[in-house]
Amino acid sequence: MALPNHGANAHHVYERLGIEMPETVIDYSENVNPLGAPTFVNEKWSTYAQLITKYPNPQGEPFLSAAAKYHGISVENTVVGNGAAEIFASLAKRYENKRAVLIHPTFSEYEATLAPYNVYIKEIIATGKVPLDEVLDEVEFAEVIYICRPNNPTGYLIPLEEIIQIAKYAMRYKCEVILDEAFLDFIDEKESFIPYLKEFPNVIVVRSMTKMYAIPGIRLGYALANKSVVNDIRSRMPHWNSNAIATTIGAECLLEEDYRTRAIAFAKEMREQMTEFLVKWNCIVLPSATNFLCFQLPDSSRSKEFFVSLLVKGCVLRHTENFKGLDGKWFRVGMKEISQMEHLQKEMTAWFVENLSS
Ligand SMILES: Cc1ncc(COP(=O)(O)O)c(C=O)c1O
């Protein structure tokens, strides 16, 4: 039986598999910052609540200016979305009846948002290093290429030099590059493509506030691009698309330098510890640059059994049956608090001892 798709919806997977949900369930398939939203969010919540009696700013202020300032870019080159997801939804129509390149395995929303627009999709499969020559060959014939950097679900970070090379080549062939930097906050702004946007009007950078700041419930994302693309994205968005609480909290989140530094260090520490643990048990681990990682069991034919037995113990991993190129042999695990990572390792150890030791 195929495993159900369950991005951030643990209930669904228990229900579909007919497994009784234990009292305590930890959802390692989620990959927002385990440190939780910055403390000011709770402290000032009653102030934010007062914002609901008025319509929000239609352009997403105060967040629009805060995001532009944070990246040293003009507000004219910035557009605010109800999550990065809304930006992708708006962008897709640009490519109606055209040709797009997707590098799988990757975030499913690129394909999902293109689906209604009769877009011909050329798929490239790369679980690790991206085959640059193949990408350049395809870019020549496409109107857009989507690149997730770092990639979800693998955590792979295409080197900046390679992205520049792709952007240059794409510009020559009038191909746009949609660069999804939703998880780049967990690395370093020095790794971002944003400073190169002036040189590359064919590149659109999409960012999300929901991962680093652990605020997926209030929806906030943005795109940075040339003015005409920004206007085009905005033209397909509803008026008042972003709410006042999200844009006010988002603007303040961008001032949280210490919080970001702590989150980056924590994600790195957890990912290194988890990698060490998995390697000790002869699992294959893909090198990740962000706050989740992908691993495979030494015997991948036992993946389903392993996944289900962890569900029974209340540990929900992200299976990869619906990710092209990973085909269920891999698992994605989001980094959580120390005690939760220890709990996962304890449950996994129990399974490994019982099933992997000869
Ligand atoms: C790679 C990637 N980009 C974008 C998004 C969407 O982010 P948002 O919550 O801002 O809509 C996600 C959400 O899972 C994601 O994994």
In ligand 1, the atom with minimum distance to the C-alpha of 8 is 14
Lookup result for tokens 């080159």 = 77
Cα 182 to averaged position of ligand 1 atoms, centre (Å): 6
> How many whole angstroms from 45 Cα to the centroid of ligand 1?
24
Query: pLDDT at residue 6 above 70?
Result: no
Both tokens assigned to 7? 């991005």
pLDDT score, position 7: 60
Does residue 313 sit within a domain?
Answer: yes
Which atom of ligand 1 sits closest to the CA of residue 107? 1
Report how many domains make up the chain: 2
Reply yes or no on whether the pLDDT at 109 is more than 60: yes
Give the residue from 256, 279, 309 where a domain finishes: 256
- pLDDT at position 308 is 95
The confidence score (pLDDT) of residue 4 equals: 72
Per-residue pLDDT, averaged over 183-200, amounts to: 98
pLDDT at 358: 57
On whether both 152 and 178 belong to a single domain, the answer is: yes
Name the domain boundary from 231, 256, 281. Answer: 256
Note the pLDDT of residue 3: 73
For residues 113 and 89, the answer to whether their CB atoms sit within 8 Å is yes
42-87 pLDDT, tens digit per residue, is 999 999 999 999 999 999 999 999 999 999 999 999 999 999 999 9
Q: What ligand 1 atom has the least distance to the C-alpha of 182?
A: 3
* pLDDT score, position 17: 87
Q: How far is the CA of 221 from the centre of ligand 1 (A)?
A: 9
Which residue has the least CA distance to atom 3 on ligand 1?
182
How much distance in Å is there from the Cα of 208 to the middle of ligand 1? 6
Query: What average pLDDT does the structure give for the chain?
Result: 96
Q: Both tokens of residue 101?
A: 């390149």
Query: Which CATH number goes with the domain that contains 338?
Result: 3.90.1150.10
Q: Which atom of ligand 1 is nearest to the CA of 148?
A: 1
Q: Which domain holds residue 97?
A: 39-256
Pull the structure tokens for residue 110: 């690129």
Would you say 206 and 221 are in contact if contact means Cβ atoms under 8 Å apart?
yes
Bridge partners for 333 per DSSP: 293
Question: Tens digit of pLDDT for each residue in 126-173?
Answer: 998 999 999 999 999 999 999 999 999 999 999 999 999 999 999 999
Tens-place pLDDT, residues 232-268? 999 999 999 999 999 999 999 999 999 999 999 999 9
316 vs 5, which has greater pLDDT? Answer: 316
Q: Say which CATH number the domain at 51 has.
A: 3.40.640.10
- Ligand 1 pocket residues where CB is under 6 Å: 83-85, 107, 148, 152, 180, 182, 208, 210, 216, 221
